[in-house]
């Protein structure tokens, strides 16, 4: 795995109205700052007047000295083209908070990928509405906070979670089979920074008990969907989906057991793309550059 | 491919309440009639008092002489166990009517598999509410009937179709992207004998324009679903589903084009299983023995 | 998950020359002993004189009293049809030894499936030629034995491993990315009871460094193969294979990282099928009844 | 589908040593010529001194007047960076020759995709070493040439084929299950312009009878590989691969029948990418930009 702390790579992400000269201006700009473009992806919703999205990964020799000037000087271009942008240094490792309930498969997949270096994040904390997974989490030397949630204490519990997230400076939140619906306020605070795994192939089987519904409907494939959380339950921008073949012999319980393996894979992929700044959100859809 | 006309194979399909001794009685029965079991599949919804389903494929030496006595004598066992059953000889090739509109990909896939011997059916007729595909169908020496359908003529058109299907002795109907909704009466006449291909991964995107809906939702996989037609639109028992990975670059039209390749494959598989008597229907689900 | 200790289920596995009356005799036999067949699968290599394979899962009321007489009385049928057979009670949980080296992904997948109840085995011991994974294994309260292997000590190391396996009464061995080639003697001792995961889609890329070879060849899919170990390296009967789409952007190292996710899934499925007595071996191929 | 004859789109493909400033220079160049970049993909084998590959799709207003000057003026940049390049106008439809033998599934898939507008090529001729598929081909109003090949007449047959291809100005050749090995001379004449479909998941089962070999080895997935043809049989750069799950019940013949459906899909995808200039070849590997 890469030693991120000495990486000289950065990523520029851009959204704006499509207009002539954007690519030329940006690539000239980067060249003038001594950046060497490693990878570049772009997408236009409509080449004749739609939205334009771009992700450029570049290497920057003498990173320390130059990175800040690259960032500061970019505002002139951004203004000219009315660009919505962000610049991310690979040296700054993102901090990921994980929310769990009782099921451990998604949590363990993330922890394993993190420890193996496949998922390059810091995990400053895990929050759960149940105490069950404390031992596992702490065995990885990660702080575990048990915040029970009832109808009455929900607002307070969310306030407590938000406080912890801010104290630990987490950049984004992964709901790794967290079985509580978050309030609009909480969701808005972390817009496009909460990733959920829904245990169905959305938009099929929205809501509770998707495996029961899949069993009742007699589907021949089950799925899982990783998406950003919005106010509309299970309606947020989809990042990744995966499916698995099943048949009439699967009981609801067996669908649930088999489904765990697609849930954890779809979630892990989505988290990885988010961490690598490969996902842009536009309205209710994602552009995934990978 | 097998020469079906001299095949000595038959298939026995069974549904009943689960009860001790069924398998023993049936296998003893077949053994006493000189049948050699080639393949046998069974499924119980609940071993302690649910439904029991079985498909037995067997070879019968001296087929001509014995087949009818196998059929006739079976009624004693069937009565004893209250079995719902059918016995199919591989010698009798099923007759398949195809309904189409303007799109040809599902039709052509079926015709190709039929001509190559992969799909062992007779195709006595193709019915369409549009004249467009006449030339293709007739190039295969298959009668093509153009029956236009309007709101006013629908009942009459269905009556005409039903008459043709009966004249041609078709056993079942495949809706190969037929863009008309059939009436309850018509559907009831051919219960579990009409196979439709829906251009989405049901139950996602029920109804019209599924690719437009898939585009709007930003899904990362598109699908197709082959199912038996019932009174409830897109709610019939699912036989087969298939999916295909897509991404943000696909327009609605490109989803539609890509989707044709999963539609034709899912439909062709489902038709093949139906033809080989591998599908049993129980309530709103299928048991597929393959 | 099922409480296996009070399960009243058993599985009968059968291999013999195909001959009339086998199915009838066995199902009558089971019926006479009061067994209720839950699932039955069979396969003939050639209905006219090939090999016949069968797996029957049945429930047995009054299990304690009857199971031994079912087993003992079966020998008469077995002799009559020259059947190679085994009868497995679900009450007896199989014991699985795991061999690892330094990579932990396959080990952790097995441990996770085991702890979640998805994989119903006991794990009496883990053996490794490296000390690295001791802590993980012992955190699951499973004995870990470090047996270093060098060219000189190989025979001795294998003898030590064999002794431990027998002391712990392990029924079968899983090589969860164990990077040592076992001797013919060792392999013969545990015939069809050692499952290996090879990190390629066999027979492509036999031998060492398959990801390097896959990179050099420029394949568009990578794979993994779970198989029983035989004397011929990477040539044993294949139980399961899985693949993953890749592209030109993957370095050898990235193929290796991505490949871990197919390795662990293919291995876990194969182990599960072995544990559930769903795999029969015939010559160099497997019959998998599932 | 697009009306290509009035399209104002073009594609620039580039291979060279990686060096700073390439992207900036090319995007500035295109901007100065009034081109609007629609999509851009790039890949470096090694950002610090490897090979650099790029595909840029752009729209050019006033196409007629400008396209030639875009092409001519590019040579200055190409010289400066030692770029190996080609510029393709979407207005010029590529001409595809198809070689077949007796099996029709790949041929029909290509013809269907061509007629439906999914595959935007002209098909000036089909060449076959057997007369069997003449009627089908001619029903599409495509000239069919029967050129029998024996060991003795091979050189002569290839000369005749080459003459026809040149007369019909075909740009590239698709071997749609053409069961003859082409000579080195013929292959060299059409370097990276002959696409073959091999009926296995290469490099597994190189050479003849891959389905027989797959049956004997007992694989659980079968595959197909579309690749550019080189002197080394089945060793050319892989463009696309696809697989299909099978099991012990498949005979060699059934593997062959099932395999046709992956062959035709893998081939059709590869041909489509080639036609859209999405494939670059470097040594024995492809870079597929899609």
**Contact between chains at B108 and D108 (C-beta distance less than 8 A):** yes
Give the per-residue pLDDT at C19: 87
Give the per-residue pLDDT at A1: 53
How far is it, in rounded angstroms, from Cα B195 to Cα B177?
11
* CB of D218 less than 8 A from some CB of A: no
Q: Give percent of chain B above pLDDT 70.
A: 99
Detail the DSSP E strand segments found in D171-284. Answer: 172-175, 194-198, 221-228, 238-245, 279-282
How far is it, in rounded angstroms, from Cα D14 to Cα A139?
51
Residue C1 clears pLDDT 60, i.e. is over it = no
Element of type H or E holding B111: helix B105-115
C-alpha D288: how far from chain center: 11
**Contact between chains at D104 and B118 (C-beta distance less than 8 A):** no
* CB of B247 less than 8 A from some CB of D: no
Domain boundary among D55, D89, D123: D89
Give the per-residue pLDDT at C46: 82
Q: Give percent of chain D above pLDDT 90.
A: 87
Beta strand pairing call for B95-100 and B172-175: parallel
Q: What angle do CA A187, A192, A195 make, to 5 degrees?
A: 80
Give the per-residue pLDDT at D65: 86
**A contact chains, 3+ CB pairs < 8 A:** B, C, D
User: What is the band of B64 on the pLDDT scale with cuts at 50, 70, 90?
Assistant: confident
Mark whether D23 and D157 lie in a shared domain.
no
Closest C-alpha among C44, C9, C38, C12 to residue C26: C12
Is the four-CA dihedral A154, A160, A163, A167 of positive or negative sign?
Answer: negative
Helix, strand, or coil (residue A64): helix
Helix, strand, or coil (residue A185): helix
Closest C-alpha among D126, D125, D79 to residue D99: D126
Mark whether D116 and D242 lie in a shared domain.
yes
Q: In this complex, how many residue pairs, one in chain C and one in chain D, have their CB atoms less than 8 Å apart? A: 73
Rounded to the nearest 10 degrees, how much is the dihedral formed by the CA atoms of A72, A74, A78, A84? -70
User: What is the band of C5 on the pLDDT scale with cuts at 50, 70, 90?
Assistant: confident
Secondary structure of chain C: what % helix, strand, coil (to 5)?
A: 35, 30, 35
Mark whether A115 and A238 lie in a shared domain.
yes
C41-71 per-position pLDDT tens digit:
999 988 677 999 999 999 999 888 899 999 9
Q: What average pLDDT score do residues C225-237 get?
A: 93
Give the per-residue pLDDT at C2: 58
Closest C-alpha among B131, B137, B136 to residue B149: B131
Give the per-residue pLDDT at D2: 57
Closest C-alpha among D142, D88, D145 to residue D115: D142
Mutate to test the interface with D, among B261, B262, B266, B273 (most CBs of D within 10 A): B261
How far is it, in rounded angstroms, from Cα D98 to Cα D111?
10
Q: What average pLDDT score do residues D26-34 get?
A: 93
Which of residues 115 through 154 in chain C touch A, CB cutoff 8 A? Answer: 116, 118, 139
Any idea which residues of A carry the catalytic annotation?
234
Mark whether C122 and C83 lie in a shared domain.
no
Mark whether A73 and A192 lie in a shared domain.
no
Which of residues 30 through 89 in chain B touch C, CB cutoff 8 A? Answer: 30-31, 34, 36-44, 47-48, 59
- Partners of residue C21 in chain B, C-beta under 8 Å: 31
User: What CATH number does the domain containing D233 carry?
Assistant: 3.40.50.170
Element of type H or E holding D39: strand D36-44
Domain count, chain D: 2
Supply the mean pLDDT for chain A: 94
Give D54-86 as a DSSP string: EEEEEE-SSHHHHHHHHHHHHHHHHHHHT-EEE
Q: What average pLDDT score do residues B6-27 get?
A: 92
Q: Which positions ≥6 away from C90 have C-beta within 8 Å?
A: C2, C4, C7, C9, C10, C11
Mark whether A181 and A268 lie in a shared domain.
yes
C154-209 per-position pLDDT tens digit:
999 999 999 999 999 999 999 999 999 999 999 999 999 999 999 999 999 998 89
Q: How far is CA A200 from CA A214, C1, C270, in A?
A: 8, 22, 25
Mark whether B103 and B49 lie in a shared domain.
no
User: What is the band of A232 on the pLDDT scale with cuts at 50, 70, 90?
Assistant: confident
B205-233 per-position pLDDT tens digit:
998 899 999 999 999 999 999 999 999 88
Q: What average pLDDT score do residues D126-133 get?
A: 98
**At D260, phi and psi to the nearest 5?**
-55, -35
User: What is the band of C4 on the pLDDT scale with cuts at 50, 70, 90?
Assistant: confident
Q: What average pLDDT score do residues A48-64 get?
A: 90
Supply the mean pLDDT for chain D: 94
**Which position among C18, C104, C171, C234 bears the catalytic label?**
C234
Domain boundary among A89, A104, A125: A89
Closest CB to D265 among B116, B139, B261 = B261
Give the per-residue pLDDT at D1: 53
Q: Which positions ≥6 away from C96 have C-beta within 8 Å?
A: C110, C121, C122, C123, C124, C170, C171, C172, C173, C174, C271, C275
Q: Tell me which of A38-42, A228-232, B43-47, C114-118 is least confident.
A: B43-47
Give the per-residue pLDDT at A46: 82
How far is it, in rounded angstroms, from Cα A288 to Cα A290?
6
D229-280 per-position pLDDT tens digit:
999 888 999 999 999 999 999 999 999 999 999 999 999 999 999 999 999 9
Residue A26 clears pLDDT 90, i.e. is over it = yes
Mark whether C104 and C179 lie in a shared domain.
yes
Domain boundary among A39, A69, A89: A89
With beta carbons less than 8 A apart as the criterion, state whether A88 and A244 touch. no
D34-49 per-position pLDDT tens digit:
998 999 999 998 867 7
DSSP state of A152: T
**Contact between chains at A21 and D40 (C-beta distance less than 8 A):** no
Tokens of D197: 């479909």
Show the domain range for A74.
Answer: 4-89
Q: What average pLDDT score do residues D80-104 get?
A: 96
Q: What average pLDDT score do residues C98-111 get?
A: 97
Mark whether A80 and A125 lie in a shared domain.
no
Mark whether A75 and A99 lie in a shared domain.
no
Mark whether C219 and C275 lie in a shared domain.
yes
Mark whether A10 and A110 lie in a shared domain.
no
- Radius of gyration, alpha carbons of chain D: 21
Is the four-CA dihedral A209, A251, C114, C6 of positive or negative sign?
Answer: positive
Tokens of B195: 């196979």
Q: Give percent of chain C above pLDDT 90.
A: 87
Give the per-residue pLDDT at B1: 53
Residue D171 clears pLDDT 70, i.e. is over it = yes
- Nearest Cα of chain D lies from the Cα of C107 at a distance, in angstroms, of 23
Q: What average pLDDT score do residues D161-186 get?
A: 97
DSSP state of A153: T
Give the per-residue pLDDT at C63: 87
Closest CB to A47 among D30, D48, D59 = D59
**D contact chains, 3+ CB pairs < 8 A:** A, B, C
Q: Give percent of chain C above pLDDT 70.
A: 99
- Partners of residue B139 in chain D, C-beta under 8 Å: 139
User: What CATH number does the domain containing C77 carry?
Assistant: 3.30.70.260
Give the per-residue pLDDT at B2: 58
Residue D109 clears pLDDT 60, i.e. is over it = yes
């Amino acid at each position: 795995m890469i030693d991120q702390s000495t990486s000289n790579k950065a990523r520029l992400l851009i959204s704006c109205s499509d207009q002539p000269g954007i690519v030329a201006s940006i690539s000239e700009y980067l060249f003038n700052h001594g950046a060497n473009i490693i990878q570049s992806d772009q997408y236009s919703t409509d080449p004749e007047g739609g939205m334009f999205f771009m992700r450029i990964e570049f290497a920057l020799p003498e990173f320390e000295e130059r990175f800040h000037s690259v960032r500061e000087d970019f505002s002139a271009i951004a203004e000219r083209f009315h660009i919505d942008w962000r610049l991310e240094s690979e040296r700054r490792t993102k901090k990921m908070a994980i929310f769990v309930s009782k099921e451990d498969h998604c949590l363990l997949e993330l922890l394993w990928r993190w420890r193996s270096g496949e998922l390059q994040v810091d995990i400053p904390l895990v929050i759960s509405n149940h105490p069950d997974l404390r031992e596992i989490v702490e065995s990885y030397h990660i702080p575990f906070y048990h915040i029970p949630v009832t109808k009455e204490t929900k607002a307070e519990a969310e306030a407590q979670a938000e406080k912890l997230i801010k104290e630990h400076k987490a950049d984004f939140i992964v709901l790794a089979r967290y079985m509580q619906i978050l309030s609009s306020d909480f969701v808005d605070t972390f817009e496009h920074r909460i990733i959920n795994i829904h245990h169905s192939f959305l938009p099929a089987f929205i809501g509770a008990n998707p495996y029961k519904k899949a069993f009742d409907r007699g589907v021949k494939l089950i799925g899982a969907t990783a998406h950003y959380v919005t106010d509309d339950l299970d309606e947020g921008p989809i990042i990744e989906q995966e499916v698995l073949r099943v048949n009439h012999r699967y009981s609801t319980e067996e669908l649930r057991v088999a489904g765990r393996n697609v849930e954890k894979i779809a979630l892990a992929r989505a988290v990885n793309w988010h961490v690598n700044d490969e996902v842009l959100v536009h309205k209710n859809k994602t552009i995934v550059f990978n």
